[in-house]
Amino acid sequence: MSSVRTEGMNERAAKPEKGRTGTRRPRPAQLGDIRQQNYSTIMRELMHAGPLARTDLATAIGMSTGAVTKLTAALARAGLLTRAPEAGPTGVGRPKVPVDIDESTYGVIGVHFGLHRTITCLINLKGRLVDEVHEPHGTTGFEPVVRGAAAAVERMAAAHRVGILGVGASTGGWVDSASGQVEHQPVLGWRDVPLAQELRGMLGLPVVIDSHVRALALAEHWFGAAMGVDNLIHLFVGNVVGAGFIFNGRPYPGARAVAGGLDHLPVAGASGEQCDCGSRSCFKMVAGDLEVARRAREAGLIADDGEIYDVLTLAAGGNGAAQALLRERAELVGRATATLIELLDPELVIVGGGVSAPADHVAAVRETARAKLDADRFRDAGSLIQASAFGPHAVGIAAGAVLLDAVYRSPEVFVPALAGHEAARAIG
């Protein structure tokens, strides 16, 4: 597949044109713009509510049945929609034939760059996981890690008989989706690296990148635990800590794409190691996976080269000392979560990362936060905090969601065959 330029996929205002008086006026909407917006509207409705008969779909999105019939026919010919099984008898008259997102023709690949490993996964157009591979990369150097990831993408694409529409990539730290740059990834030591450009050049596929916390918030909002929730926080506590925000139904990156950086949030407790800012009480130093693993090594619970996964395995096997370490961390995260809730008043907080691995530790986060929150203002605190819907597969699926969101916003960009379709025969 030839490369399609996708950096800066965020919706932007149309470029103004100069009028006779010298003032500038907006460019009128073009037919292609309207058609693409309609395609996007149909696909988004079917993602959340499909399968739907075309008459019901037309009612839901406020279009005429005739227009919906023509648009869904074009989407079906392009491989984006399919005829769904009929739900049952529909009574007198022509039967309603439901349509849905086609899960078998296309897919997107997600790549998450972590400290110890790269996770590559394939998800279908409904966000469902098809395949996932974890590969230790043995180095933190930008070029070798990205080359390894590109090779993993190629292997995964070759192993599945679907068209790959593109790659979504995520990592921790400061990531600017609009420029395609990783400005600073502290645990990998990356600074000012053109991740989207490098992957695009190696693969010849569209690539969209974002921070893993924004990707996680987007995935939960799209097809996870926060479907239908327009104001949410995704709090991630792993090797890095941070929060992704959805406000009024849209991801919030901040003015400089750094919203949600919680590394230096002061918390109770002190790390055995000093943060680069000089403090021992920064959130990342006290609650991150690296600190939990360090304390476990110091206590002789795991080997000198052990990591958080070894602590989780011990805790799952009933080791009381490992369980105590993880519960102490969860309670600290609960207090920080209460602070975020009081500050931003979300409908929902999703907790992810190492802190969410055992379900009872999410319960500890919830109970600690509830004890700290004002009972009158947050009477629903018991249901306000939930674990990720994606479990151990969250970061890979979320990376794919970054590209999937771009596909749904601009389907003609990713499926060029769709661009020329006009009215056509009905599905099936």
**In this structure, are residues 296 and 311 in contact, taking their beta carbons and an 8 Å threshold?**
yes
In a domain, 299, yes or no: yes
**In this structure, are residues 164 and 206 in contact, taking their beta carbons and an 8 Å threshold?**
no
| Mean pLDDT, rounded, for 45-51 | 95
Other CB atoms closer than 10 Å to residue 317's CB: what's the count?
Answer: 9
In a domain, 30, yes or no: no
379 and 405 belong to one structural domain? no
**The predicted structure's pLDDT at residue 88:** 59
Q: Are strands 98-101 and 52-53 parallel, antiparallel or unpaired?
A: antiparallel
Tell me the CATH number at 180.
3.30.420.40
| Mean pLDDT, rounded, for 241-263 | 95
Nearest to 177 by CA among 426, 419, 402, 423: 402
Distance of CA 341 to the CA centre of its chain: 21
In a domain, 255, yes or no: yes
- Which residue type does 413 have? V
In a domain, 127, yes or no: yes
**Enclosing domain of residue 177:** 106-216+393-409
| Mean pLDDT, rounded, for 205-211 | 98
Would you place residue 420 in the very low, low, confident or very high pLDDT band (cuts 50, 70, 90)? low
In a domain, 26, yes or no: no
- Which residue type does 293 have? A
**In this structure, are residues 385 and 338 in contact, taking their beta carbons and an 8 Å threshold?**
no
Q: What is the value of pTM for the model shown? A: 0.87
334 and 398 belong to one structural domain? no
210 and 232 belong to one structural domain? no
DSSP secondary structure string, 280-316?
S-BHHHHHSHHHHHHHHHHTTSS-TT--HHHHHHHHH
129 and 246 belong to one structural domain? no
**The predicted structure's pLDDT at residue 95:** 67
305 and 402 belong to one structural domain? no
375 and 399 belong to one structural domain? no
DSSP 266: B
CA R_g for the chain: 23
| Mean pLDDT, rounded, for 183-204 | 97
355 and 276 belong to one structural domain? yes
333 and 319 belong to one structural domain? yes
Would you place residue 269 in the very low, low, confident or very high pLDDT band (cuts 50, 70, 90)? confident
**Which one has a higher pLDDT value, 9 or 401?**
401
Would you place residue 239 in the very low, low, confident or very high pLDDT band (cuts 50, 70, 90)? confident
244 and 383 belong to one structural domain? yes
In a domain, 242, yes or no: yes
DSSP 49: H
| Mean pLDDT, rounded, for 218-237 | 95
235 and 309 belong to one structural domain? yes
Angle at 80 between CA 97 and CA 110, to 5 degrees: 135
Would you place residue 173 in the very low, low, confident or very high pLDDT band (cuts 50, 70, 90)? very high
List pLDDT tens digits, range 361-400: 899 999 999 999 987 788 887 789 999 999 999 999 999 9
- Which residue type does 230 have? D
Q: Are strands 250-251 and 348-353 parallel, antiparallel or unpaired?
A: unpaired
In a domain, 40, yes or no: no
DSSP 415: -
- How large a percentage of the chain has pLDDT more than 90? 76
Residues contacting 428, CB < 8 A, separation 6+: 83, 97
Count the domains in the chain.
2
Would you place residue 268 in the very low, low, confident or very high pLDDT band (cuts 50, 70, 90)? confident
- Chain mean pLDDT for the chain: 88
Distances (CA, A) of 138 to 116, 291, 358: 7, 21, 27
129 and 201 belong to one structural domain? yes
- Which residue type does 16 have? P
In a domain, 8, yes or no: no
200 and 266 belong to one structural domain? no
